[in-house]
Structure 1
Protein backbone atom coordinates (compact mmCIF):
# COMPACT_ATOMS: atom_id res chain seq x y z
CA UNK A 1 0.00 0.00 0.00
CA UNK A 2 1.44 3.39 -0.94
CA UNK A 3 1.59 6.41 1.35
CA UNK A 4 -1.17 8.20 -0.60
CA UNK A 5 -3.58 5.37 0.22
CA UNK A 6 -2.42 5.34 3.85
CA UNK A 7 -2.99 9.09 4.21
CA UNK A 8 -6.43 8.85 2.62
CA UNK A 9 -7.47 6.06 4.97
CA UNK A 10 -6.10 7.93 7.99
CA UNK A 11 -8.11 11.03 7.05
CA UNK A 12 -11.24 8.91 6.70
CA UNK A 13 -10.69 7.29 10.09
CA UNK A 14 -9.93 10.64 11.73
CA UNK A 15 -13.28 11.94 10.46
CA UNK A 16 -15.26 9.22 12.22
CA UNK A 17 -16.60 10.01 15.66
CA UNK A 18 -19.43 8.71 17.75
CA UNK A 19 -21.53 11.76 18.59
CA UNK A 20 -23.21 12.04 21.94
CA UNK A 21 -26.68 11.76 20.40
CA UNK A 22 -28.48 8.56 19.48
CA UNK A 23 -27.58 8.68 15.77
CA UNK A 24 -23.89 7.88 15.35
CA UNK A 25 -23.27 7.36 11.66
CA UNK A 26 -20.30 6.88 9.38
CA UNK A 27 -20.45 9.37 6.54
CA UNK A 28 -17.06 8.47 5.08
CA UNK A 29 -16.40 5.99 2.30
CA UNK A 30 -14.58 3.51 4.56
CA UNK A 31 -16.90 0.49 4.87
CA UNK A 32 -17.96 -0.12 8.46
CA UNK A 33 -16.93 -3.78 8.13
CA UNK A 34 -13.33 -2.66 7.49
CA UNK A 35 -13.42 -0.44 10.56
CA UNK A 36 -14.95 -3.28 12.60
CA UNK A 37 -12.06 -5.54 11.55
CA UNK A 38 -9.63 -2.82 12.66
CA UNK A 39 -11.42 -2.50 16.01
CA UNK A 40 -11.12 -6.24 16.64
CA UNK A 41 -7.47 -6.33 15.54
CA UNK A 42 -6.60 -3.38 17.82
CA UNK A 43 -8.47 -4.96 20.73
CA UNK A 44 -6.67 -8.27 20.30
CA UNK A 45 -3.33 -6.44 20.53
CA UNK A 46 -4.21 -5.86 24.20
CA UNK A 47 -5.09 -9.49 24.95
CA UNK A 48 -3.86 -10.38 28.44
CA UNK A 49 -3.56 -6.78 29.69
CA UNK A 50 -4.81 -6.89 33.31
CA UNK A 51 -8.21 -5.65 34.44
CA UNK A 52 -8.39 -2.88 37.03
CA UNK A 53 -11.68 -1.25 37.98
CA UNK A 54 -11.54 2.50 37.49
CA UNK A 55 -8.44 2.27 35.33
CA UNK A 56 -7.31 5.58 33.86
CA UNK A 57 -8.03 6.23 30.20
CA UNK A 58 -4.44 7.48 29.95
CA UNK A 59 -2.84 4.06 30.49
CA UNK A 60 -2.69 0.86 28.48
CA UNK A 61 -1.07 -1.11 31.33
CA UNK A 62 -4.51 -1.87 32.82
CA UNK A 63 -8.09 -1.44 31.63
CA UNK A 64 -11.58 -1.57 33.00
CA UNK A 65 -14.29 -2.56 30.54
CA UNK A 66 -15.16 0.94 29.35
CA UNK A 67 -11.60 2.31 29.25
CA UNK A 68 -10.78 -0.69 27.03
CA UNK A 69 -13.63 -0.01 24.58
CA UNK A 70 -12.88 3.71 24.63
CA UNK A 71 -9.18 3.12 23.86
CA UNK A 72 -9.72 0.56 21.09
CA UNK A 73 -12.31 2.65 19.28
CA UNK A 74 -10.22 5.81 19.68
CA UNK A 75 -7.31 4.05 17.97
CA UNK A 76 -9.45 3.67 14.84
CA UNK A 77 -10.83 7.22 15.03
CA UNK A 78 -14.12 6.67 16.89
CA UNK A 79 -14.54 8.74 20.05
CA UNK A 80 -16.61 7.22 22.84
CA UNK A 81 -17.55 8.58 26.28
CA UNK A 82 -15.57 7.25 29.27
CA UNK A 83 -17.99 5.00 31.13
CA UNK A 84 -20.22 2.12 30.04
CA UNK A 85 -23.49 3.84 30.93
CA UNK A 86 -22.55 6.86 28.81
CA UNK A 87 -21.36 4.58 25.99
CA UNK A 88 -24.73 2.77 26.07
CA UNK A 89 -26.43 5.95 24.83
CA UNK A 90 -24.25 6.43 21.74
CA UNK A 91 -25.00 5.10 18.27
CA UNK A 92 -27.85 3.02 16.93
CA UNK A 93 -29.55 0.51 19.23
CA UNK A 94 -29.41 -3.09 17.97
CA UNK A 95 -30.96 -6.27 19.32
CA UNK A 96 -29.03 -9.40 20.26
CA UNK A 97 -29.99 -11.02 16.94
CA UNK A 98 -28.77 -8.00 14.96
CA UNK A 99 -25.27 -7.83 16.47
CA UNK A 100 -22.45 -7.38 13.98
CA UNK A 101 -18.70 -7.42 14.40
CA UNK A 102 -17.60 -4.17 16.05
CA UNK A 103 -20.87 -3.48 17.87
CA UNK A 104 -20.77 -2.53 21.54
CA UNK A 105 -22.61 -4.99 23.80
CA UNK A 106 -23.94 -3.87 27.19
CA UNK A 107 -24.76 -6.00 30.22
CA UNK A 108 -26.55 -5.67 33.55
CA UNK A 109 -25.51 -7.37 36.80
CA UNK A 110 -25.97 -11.13 36.93
CA UNK A 111 -29.36 -12.11 38.30
CA UNK A 112 -30.55 -8.51 38.39
CA UNK A 113 -33.90 -7.39 37.09
CA UNK A 114 -32.53 -3.85 36.91
CA UNK A 115 -31.53 -2.56 33.50
CA UNK A 116 -28.56 -0.65 34.99
CA UNK A 117 -25.53 -1.11 32.72
CA UNK A 118 -22.56 -2.64 34.56
CA UNK A 119 -20.35 -3.95 31.72
CA UNK A 120 -19.49 -3.31 28.07
CA UNK A 121 -17.82 -5.56 25.50
CA UNK A 122 -17.14 -5.52 21.76
CA UNK A 123 -18.92 -8.10 19.62
CA UNK A 124 -16.11 -9.83 17.71
CA UNK A 125 -18.35 -11.95 15.46
CA UNK A 126 -18.71 -15.73 15.46
CA UNK A 127 -20.39 -15.73 18.91
CA UNK A 128 -17.37 -14.06 20.57
CA UNK A 129 -17.06 -11.08 22.89
CA UNK A 130 -13.83 -9.08 23.20
CA UNK A 131 -13.65 -7.42 26.61
CA UNK A 132 -11.89 -7.22 29.95
CA UNK A 133 -12.95 -8.32 33.42
CA UNK A 134 -11.49 -10.05 36.47
CA UNK A 135 -8.52 -12.38 36.29
CA UNK A 136 -8.27 -12.99 32.57
CA UNK A 137 -7.92 -9.29 31.75
CA UNK A 138 -8.50 -8.54 28.07
CA UNK A 139 -9.84 -11.73 26.55
CA UNK A 140 -12.37 -13.25 24.19
CA UNK A 141 -15.29 -15.30 25.51
CA UNK A 142 -18.30 -17.03 24.04
CA UNK A 143 -21.53 -15.06 24.09
CA UNK A 144 -24.60 -17.15 23.26
CA UNK A 145 -25.50 -19.87 25.72
CA UNK A 146 -23.47 -18.26 28.53
CA UNK A 147 -24.16 -16.03 31.51
CA UNK A 148 -23.14 -13.12 29.28
CA UNK A 149 -26.14 -13.77 27.07
CA UNK A 150 -28.43 -13.92 30.12
CA UNK A 151 -27.11 -10.53 31.27
CA UNK A 152 -27.47 -8.89 27.81
CA UNK A 153 -29.20 -5.53 27.97
CA UNK A 154 -28.61 -3.96 24.54
CA UNK A 155 -26.24 -3.53 21.65
CA UNK A 156 -25.10 -0.28 20.04
CA UNK A 157 -23.67 0.25 16.56
CA UNK A 158 -21.21 3.15 16.56
CA UNK A 159 -19.43 2.46 13.26
Structure 2
Protein backbone atom coordinates (compact mmCIF):
# COMPACT_ATOMS: atom_id res chain seq x y z
CA UNK A 1 0.00 0.00 0.00
CA UNK A 2 1.49 3.32 -1.04
CA UNK A 3 -0.69 5.96 0.56
CA UNK A 4 -3.90 6.78 2.30
CA UNK A 5 -5.05 9.03 -0.48
CA UNK A 6 -7.85 7.77 -2.67
CA UNK A 7 -8.21 7.37 -6.36
CA UNK A 8 -11.40 9.01 -7.51
CA UNK A 9 -13.82 7.13 -9.63
CA UNK A 10 -16.41 8.91 -11.71
CA UNK A 11 -19.48 6.84 -12.43
CA UNK A 12 -21.68 8.18 -15.16
CA UNK A 13 -25.35 7.54 -14.51
CA UNK A 14 -26.96 5.57 -17.28
CA UNK A 15 -30.41 6.64 -18.35
CA UNK A 16 -32.89 3.88 -19.15
CA UNK A 17 -35.89 4.67 -21.29
CA UNK A 18 -39.07 2.70 -20.61
CA UNK A 19 -42.49 2.98 -22.22
CA UNK A 20 -45.12 3.02 -19.48
CA UNK A 21 -48.81 3.94 -19.59
CA UNK A 22 -48.43 5.23 -23.12
CA UNK A 23 -45.70 7.71 -22.27
CA UNK A 24 -41.94 7.52 -22.39
CA UNK A 25 -40.51 7.56 -18.86
CA UNK A 26 -36.79 8.06 -18.29
CA UNK A 27 -35.44 6.23 -15.27
CA UNK A 28 -31.95 6.60 -13.95
CA UNK A 29 -30.40 3.13 -13.64
CA UNK A 30 -29.53 3.86 -9.99
CA UNK A 31 -33.09 4.67 -8.92
CA UNK A 32 -35.87 2.41 -7.72
CA UNK A 33 -39.26 2.20 -9.32
CA UNK A 34 -42.38 0.19 -8.46
CA UNK A 35 -40.58 -1.51 -5.58
CA UNK A 36 -38.00 -3.06 -7.87
CA UNK A 37 -34.29 -2.53 -7.36
CA UNK A 38 -32.90 -1.19 -10.63
CA UNK A 39 -29.36 -1.06 -9.31
CA UNK A 40 -26.62 -3.12 -10.89
CA UNK A 41 -26.90 -5.43 -7.89
CA UNK A 42 -24.79 -2.83 -6.08
CA UNK A 43 -25.87 -3.86 -2.59
CA UNK A 44 -24.95 -7.50 -3.04
CA UNK A 45 -21.94 -9.63 -3.69
CA UNK A 46 -20.45 -9.28 -7.08
CA UNK A 47 -19.58 -9.31 -9.73
CA UNK A 48 -18.22 -12.84 -10.04
CA UNK A 49 -17.60 -15.02 -13.05
CA UNK A 50 -19.90 -17.97 -13.79
CA UNK A 51 -17.96 -21.21 -13.81
CA UNK A 52 -15.53 -20.11 -11.10
CA UNK A 53 -17.53 -21.40 -8.16
CA UNK A 54 -15.38 -24.51 -7.79
CA UNK A 55 -12.23 -22.39 -7.67
CA UNK A 56 -13.69 -20.17 -4.98
CA UNK A 57 -14.73 -23.18 -2.91
CA UNK A 58 -11.25 -24.72 -3.23
CA UNK A 59 -9.52 -21.48 -2.22
CA UNK A 60 -11.82 -21.11 0.80
CA UNK A 61 -11.18 -24.68 1.94
CA UNK A 62 -7.44 -23.96 2.00
CA UNK A 63 -7.84 -21.25 4.66
CA UNK A 64 -6.70 -22.11 8.18
CA UNK A 65 -8.33 -21.12 11.48
CA UNK A 66 -6.45 -17.84 11.79
CA UNK A 67 -7.51 -16.75 8.32
CA UNK A 68 -11.12 -17.74 8.97
CA UNK A 69 -11.15 -15.79 12.24
CA UNK A 70 -10.12 -12.69 10.31
CA UNK A 71 -12.84 -13.32 7.72
CA UNK A 72 -15.37 -13.64 10.55
CA UNK A 73 -14.12 -10.35 12.01
CA UNK A 74 -14.44 -8.60 8.64
CA UNK A 75 -18.01 -9.88 8.23
CA UNK A 76 -18.98 -9.16 11.85
CA UNK A 77 -17.75 -5.57 11.81
CA UNK A 78 -19.34 -5.05 8.41
CA UNK A 79 -22.68 -6.24 9.80
CA UNK A 80 -22.34 -4.05 12.91
CA UNK A 81 -21.71 -1.05 10.69
CA UNK A 82 -24.71 -2.01 8.50
CA UNK A 83 -22.49 -2.22 5.43
CA UNK A 84 -23.60 -4.33 2.50
CA UNK A 85 -22.15 -7.80 1.81
CA UNK A 86 -20.31 -6.21 -1.09
CA UNK A 87 -18.21 -4.25 1.41
CA UNK A 88 -17.31 -7.47 3.20
CA UNK A 89 -16.26 -9.00 -0.11
CA UNK A 90 -14.04 -6.04 -0.93
CA UNK A 91 -12.34 -6.21 2.46
CA UNK A 92 -11.78 -9.98 2.16
CA UNK A 93 -10.23 -9.58 -1.28
CA UNK A 94 -7.99 -6.78 -0.04
CA UNK A 95 -6.90 -8.70 3.06
CA UNK A 96 -6.19 -11.87 1.13
CA UNK A 97 -4.12 -9.96 -1.41
CA UNK A 98 -2.14 -7.89 1.08
CA UNK A 99 -1.41 -10.46 3.81
CA UNK A 100 -3.17 -13.73 2.97
CA UNK A 101 -5.62 -12.67 5.71
CA UNK A 102 -2.98 -12.67 8.44
CA UNK A 103 -2.13 -9.98 10.97
CA UNK A 104 1.50 -9.53 9.93
CA UNK A 105 4.06 -7.60 11.99
CA UNK A 106 6.15 -6.89 8.90
CA UNK A 107 5.76 -5.78 5.29
CA UNK A 108 7.07 -3.51 2.56
CA UNK A 109 8.74 -0.51 4.23
CA UNK A 110 6.58 0.13 7.32
CA UNK A 111 3.46 -1.73 6.11
CA UNK A 112 1.81 -3.81 8.83
CA UNK A 113 -1.23 -5.94 9.56
CA UNK A 114 -4.02 -7.50 7.55
CA UNK A 115 -4.24 -4.68 5.02
CA UNK A 116 -0.57 -3.66 5.20
CA UNK A 117 -1.39 -0.20 6.45
CA UNK A 118 1.54 2.21 6.77
CA UNK A 119 1.84 4.36 9.90
CA UNK A 120 4.02 6.80 7.97
CA UNK A 121 1.12 7.44 5.58
CA UNK A 122 -1.38 8.33 8.28
CA UNK A 123 -3.16 5.01 8.79
CA UNK A 124 -2.49 4.98 12.54
CA UNK A 125 0.21 4.04 15.00
CA UNK A 126 2.02 0.69 14.69
CA UNK A 127 -0.05 -0.56 17.63
CA UNK A 128 -3.29 0.49 15.91
CA UNK A 129 -2.51 -0.94 12.48
CA UNK A 130 -1.72 -4.33 14.04
CA UNK A 131 -4.95 -4.33 16.07
CA UNK A 132 -7.46 -6.35 13.96
CA UNK A 133 -10.68 -4.47 14.88
CA UNK A 134 -8.97 -1.13 14.31
CA UNK A 135 -7.66 -2.27 10.92
CA UNK A 136 -11.02 -3.54 9.69
CA UNK A 137 -12.85 -0.41 10.82
CA UNK A 138 -10.18 1.80 9.26
CA UNK A 139 -10.45 -0.09 5.97
CA UNK A 140 -14.23 0.39 5.96
CA UNK A 141 -13.85 4.10 6.85
CA UNK A 142 -11.69 4.67 3.79
CA UNK A 143 -13.79 2.40 1.55
CA UNK A 144 -16.93 4.41 2.33
CA UNK A 145 -15.20 7.56 1.10
CA UNK A 146 -14.41 6.02 -2.31
CA UNK A 147 -16.83 7.48 -4.88
CA UNK A 148 -19.24 4.85 -6.23
CA UNK A 149 -17.48 2.04 -4.35
CA UNK A 150 -20.60 -0.14 -4.63
CA UNK A 151 -20.84 0.38 -8.39
CA UNK A 152 -17.33 -0.65 -9.42
CA UNK A 153 -15.74 -4.06 -9.51
CA UNK A 154 -14.83 -5.17 -5.94
CA UNK A 155 -11.14 -5.58 -6.77
CA UNK A 156 -11.06 -2.05 -8.15
CA UNK A 157 -12.67 -0.76 -4.94
CA UNK A 158 -10.01 -2.59 -2.93
CA UNK A 159 -7.34 -0.97 -5.09
CA UNK A 160 -8.86 2.46 -4.48
CA UNK A 161 -8.29 1.94 -0.76
CA UNK A 162 -4.92 0.19 -0.96
CA UNK A 163 -3.23 2.13 -3.78
CA UNK A 164 -1.18 -0.91 -4.81
CA UNK A 165 1.39 -0.88 -7.59
CA UNK A 166 -0.25 -4.12 -8.80
CA UNK A 167 -3.97 -3.35 -9.02
CA UNK A 168 -4.98 -6.51 -10.87
CA UNK A 169 -3.98 -8.72 -7.94
CA UNK A 170 -7.19 -8.02 -6.05
CA UNK A 171 -9.34 -9.73 -8.68
CA UNK A 172 -7.60 -13.08 -8.06
CA UNK A 173 -9.61 -13.69 -4.88
CA UNK A 174 -13.02 -12.60 -6.18
CA UNK A 175 -14.58 -16.06 -6.37
CA UNK A 176 -13.26 -17.06 -2.95
CA UNK A 177 -14.57 -13.88 -1.33
CA UNK A 178 -18.01 -14.43 -2.89
CA UNK A 179 -18.11 -17.96 -1.47
CA UNK A 180 -17.00 -16.83 2.01
CA UNK A 181 -19.55 -14.03 2.18
CA UNK A 182 -22.31 -16.36 1.03
CA UNK A 183 -21.42 -19.16 3.49
CA UNK A 184 -19.77 -17.56 6.53
CA UNK A 185 -21.90 -14.43 6.19
CA UNK A 186 -25.07 -16.48 5.64
CA UNK A 187 -26.25 -14.31 2.77
CA UNK A 188 -29.34 -15.88 1.25
CA UNK A 189 -29.33 -13.78 -1.93
CA UNK A 190 -25.63 -13.42 -2.71
CA UNK A 191 -26.09 -11.40 -5.87
CA UNK A 192 -28.39 -8.95 -4.13
CA UNK A 193 -30.44 -8.54 -7.28
CA UNK A 194 -32.97 -11.38 -7.21
CA UNK A 195 -35.28 -9.49 -4.87
CA UNK A 196 -35.99 -5.93 -3.96
CA UNK A 197 -34.94 -4.60 -0.55
CA UNK A 198 -38.48 -5.28 0.66
CA UNK A 199 -38.17 -8.92 -0.37
CA UNK A 200 -40.47 -8.63 -3.39
CA UNK A 201 -39.50 -10.93 -6.23
CA UNK A 202 -38.65 -9.09 -9.45
CA UNK A 203 -41.98 -9.08 -11.29
CA UNK A 204 -42.49 -10.78 -14.66
CA UNK A 205 -42.00 -8.87 -17.87
CA UNK A 206 -45.42 -8.08 -19.38
CA UNK A 207 -43.81 -7.36 -22.76
CA UNK A 208 -41.86 -10.63 -22.94
CA UNK A 209 -44.29 -12.64 -25.06
CA UNK A 210 -44.54 -10.02 -27.83
CA UNK A 211 -40.78 -9.45 -27.83
CA UNK A 212 -40.14 -13.19 -28.09
CA UNK A 213 -42.65 -13.58 -30.93
CA UNK A 214 -40.93 -10.83 -32.89
CA UNK A 215 -37.43 -12.22 -32.37
CA UNK A 216 -38.47 -15.74 -33.34
CA UNK A 217 -40.16 -14.39 -36.43
CA UNK A 218 -36.83 -12.95 -37.63
CA UNK A 219 -35.05 -16.33 -37.67
CA UNK A 220 -33.08 -16.97 -40.82
CA UNK A 221 -32.30 -13.32 -41.52
CA UNK A 222 -28.57 -12.54 -41.91
CA UNK A 223 -26.26 -11.05 -39.31
CA UNK A 224 -24.85 -7.67 -40.35
CA UNK A 225 -22.87 -5.61 -37.84
CA UNK A 226 -24.73 -2.39 -37.02
CA UNK A 227 -27.98 -3.54 -38.65
CA UNK A 228 -31.32 -2.99 -36.92
CA UNK A 229 -33.64 -4.61 -39.46
CA UNK A 230 -35.84 -5.25 -41.16
CA UNK A 231 -33.72 -7.32 -43.54
CA UNK A 232 -30.73 -8.02 -41.26
CA UNK A 233 -29.61 -7.58 -37.65
CA UNK A 234 -26.72 -7.57 -35.26
CA UNK A 235 -27.18 -8.90 -31.71
CA UNK A 236 -28.43 -5.73 -30.04
CA UNK A 237 -30.30 -4.55 -33.14
CA UNK A 238 -32.50 -7.65 -33.03
CA UNK A 239 -33.43 -7.07 -29.40
CA UNK A 240 -33.92 -3.35 -29.94
CA UNK A 241 -36.59 -4.09 -32.54
CA UNK A 242 -38.07 -7.01 -30.59
CA UNK A 243 -38.79 -4.85 -27.58
CA UNK A 244 -39.82 -1.93 -29.72
CA UNK A 245 -42.49 -4.19 -31.20
CA UNK A 246 -43.62 -4.92 -27.64
CA UNK A 247 -43.85 -1.22 -26.75
CA UNK A 248 -40.62 -0.94 -24.76
CA UNK A 249 -37.74 1.29 -25.87
CA UNK A 250 -34.29 0.03 -24.90
CA UNK A 251 -30.86 1.40 -25.87
CA UNK A 252 -29.24 0.49 -29.18
CA UNK A 253 -25.93 -0.98 -27.95
CA UNK A 254 -25.57 -4.21 -25.95
CA UNK A 255 -23.40 -2.56 -23.30
CA UNK A 256 -26.16 0.00 -22.70
CA UNK A 257 -28.93 -2.60 -22.86
CA UNK A 258 -27.33 -4.09 -19.74
CA UNK A 259 -28.73 -1.03 -17.90
CA UNK A 260 -32.21 -1.22 -19.45
CA UNK A 261 -34.22 -2.81 -16.64
CA UNK A 262 -34.28 -4.77 -13.40
CA UNK A 263 -31.42 -7.21 -12.83
CA UNK A 264 -31.45 -10.73 -11.47
CA UNK A 265 -29.03 -13.67 -11.30
CA UNK A 266 -28.57 -15.07 -14.79
CA UNK A 267 -29.41 -18.57 -13.61
CA UNK A 268 -32.87 -17.24 -12.68
CA UNK A 269 -33.55 -15.75 -16.12
CA UNK A 270 -37.11 -16.04 -17.42
CA UNK A 271 -38.46 -15.85 -21.00
CA UNK A 272 -37.79 -12.43 -22.50
CA UNK A 273 -34.87 -11.57 -20.22
CA UNK A 274 -31.62 -10.40 -21.81
CA UNK A 275 -28.40 -12.31 -21.22
CA UNK A 276 -24.94 -10.92 -21.96
CA UNK A 277 -21.39 -11.98 -22.80
CA UNK A 278 -18.26 -9.94 -22.07
CA UNK A 279 -14.53 -10.20 -22.66
CA UNK A 280 -14.27 -10.04 -18.86
CA UNK A 281 -17.54 -11.41 -17.49
CA UNK A 282 -16.97 -9.61 -14.18
CA UNK A 283 -16.70 -6.24 -15.94
CA UNK A 284 -19.91 -5.08 -17.72
CA UNK A 285 -17.91 -2.40 -19.55
CA UNK A 286 -16.51 -5.20 -21.74
CA UNK A 287 -19.89 -6.58 -22.88
CA UNK A 288 -19.83 -7.49 -26.58
CA UNK A 289 -22.89 -9.72 -27.14
CA UNK A 290 -26.51 -9.98 -26.01
CA UNK A 291 -29.27 -12.54 -26.59
CA UNK A 292 -32.84 -13.15 -25.42
CA UNK A 293 -33.63 -16.04 -23.10
CA UNK A 294 -36.55 -18.17 -24.26
CA UNK A 295 -36.87 -20.53 -21.31
CA UNK A 296 -36.05 -24.23 -21.12
CA UNK A 297 -32.34 -23.51 -21.50
CA UNK A 298 -32.55 -21.84 -24.93
CA UNK A 299 -31.87 -18.38 -26.38
CA UNK A 300 -32.54 -16.53 -29.64
CA UNK A 301 -29.71 -14.42 -31.00
CA UNK A 302 -28.06 -12.72 -33.95
CA UNK A 303 -24.66 -14.17 -33.22
CA UNK A 304 -22.05 -13.27 -35.83
CA UNK A 305 -21.33 -12.77 -39.54
CA UNK A 306 -22.21 -15.83 -41.57
CA UNK A 307 -24.68 -17.11 -38.97
CA UNK A 308 -28.34 -16.10 -39.43
CA UNK A 309 -30.70 -15.29 -36.56
CA UNK A 310 -31.29 -18.58 -34.76
CA UNK A 311 -32.07 -20.28 -31.46
CA UNK A 312 -29.66 -22.48 -29.53
CA UNK A 313 -29.12 -24.00 -26.08
CA UNK A 314 -27.34 -21.97 -23.40
CA UNK A 315 -25.16 -23.17 -20.52
CA UNK A 316 -24.77 -21.04 -17.40
CA UNK A 317 -21.07 -21.90 -17.40
CA UNK A 318 -20.38 -20.56 -20.90
CA UNK A 319 -17.14 -18.55 -21.09
CA UNK A 320 -17.80 -14.84 -20.88
CA UNK A 321 -21.40 -15.12 -19.65
CA UNK A 322 -22.21 -12.14 -17.41
CA UNK A 323 -23.65 -13.16 -14.00
CA UNK A 324 -26.66 -10.83 -14.26
CA UNK A 325 -29.62 -11.03 -16.62
CA UNK A 326 -31.75 -7.96 -17.36
CA UNK A 327 -35.54 -7.74 -17.51
CA UNK A 328 -36.46 -4.82 -19.81
CA UNK A 329 -39.69 -2.97 -19.15
CA UNK A 330 -39.63 -3.75 -15.42
Q: TM-score range by the shorter chain?
A: 0.7 to 0.9
Figure out how many residues of one structure are paired with residues of the other and give that number: 139
Match of 1:75 in 2: 245
The CA distance in 1 between the partners of 2:21 and 2:213, in whole Å, is 18
The CA distance in 2 between the partners of 1:62 and 1:24, in whole Å, is 36
Cα deviation 1:3-48 (Å, max 9, x = unaligned) = xxxxxxxxx987386845326868xxxx945531221111111001
Query: CA, structure 1 residues 19+99, in 2 after alignment: closer, same or farther (shift >3 Å)?
Result: farther
Match of 1:93 in 2: 263
Query: CA, structure 1 residues 13+113, in 2 after alignment: closer, same or farther (shift >3 Å)?
Result: closer
The CA distance in 1 between the partners of 2:26 and 2:289, in whole Å, is 21
Q: Is the radius of gyration larger for structure 1 or structure 2?
A: 2
Moved more, 64-73 or 129-138: 129-138
Structure 2 SS opposite 1:68: helix
Match of 1:152 in 2: 321
- For CA contacts below 8 A with separation 6 or more, give which structure has more relative contact order: 1
The CA distance in 2 between the partners of 1:97 and 1:54, in whole Å, is 29
Higher helix share: 2
Residue 142 (structure 1) aligned with residue 313 (structure 2) = yes
For structure 2, the residue ranges without an aligned partner over 5 or more in a row are 1-18, 35-202
The CA distance in 2 between the partners of 1:40 and 1:50, in whole Å, is 18
Match of 2:211 in 1: 39
Residue 84 (structure 1) aligned with residue 220 (structure 2) = no
Which of 4, 15, 19 is 2:22 aligned to? 15
The CA distance in 2 between the partners of 1:100 and 1:140, in whole Å, is 16
The CA distance in 1 between the partners of 2:32 and 2:216, in whole Å, is 24
* Structure-1-length-normalised TM-score: 0.74
The CA distance in 2 between the partners of 1:69 and 1:114, in whole Å, is 23
* Structure-2-length-normalised TM-score: 0.38
For structure 1, the residue ranges without an aligned partner over 5 or more in a row are 1-11
Please report how far the alpha carbon of residue 133 of structure 1 lies from its aligned counterpart in structure 2 after TM superposition.
1.5
Cα deviation 1:37-63 (Å, max 9, x = unaligned) = 2211111110011001122x3x31110
Query: CA, structure 1 residues 54+142, in 2 after alignment: closer, same or farther (shift >3 Å)?
Result: same
Contact 1:18/1:24 (8 A) holds in 2? no
Residue 117 (structure 1) aligned with residue 287 (structure 2) = yes
Cα deviation 1:106-150 (Å, max 9, x = unaligned) = 1113xx56631000100111101111022222111110167xx32
Query: CA, structure 1 residues 50+15, in 2 after alignment: closer, same or farther (shift >3 Å)?
Result: same
The CA distance in 2 between the partners of 1:102 and 1:18, in whole Å, is 20
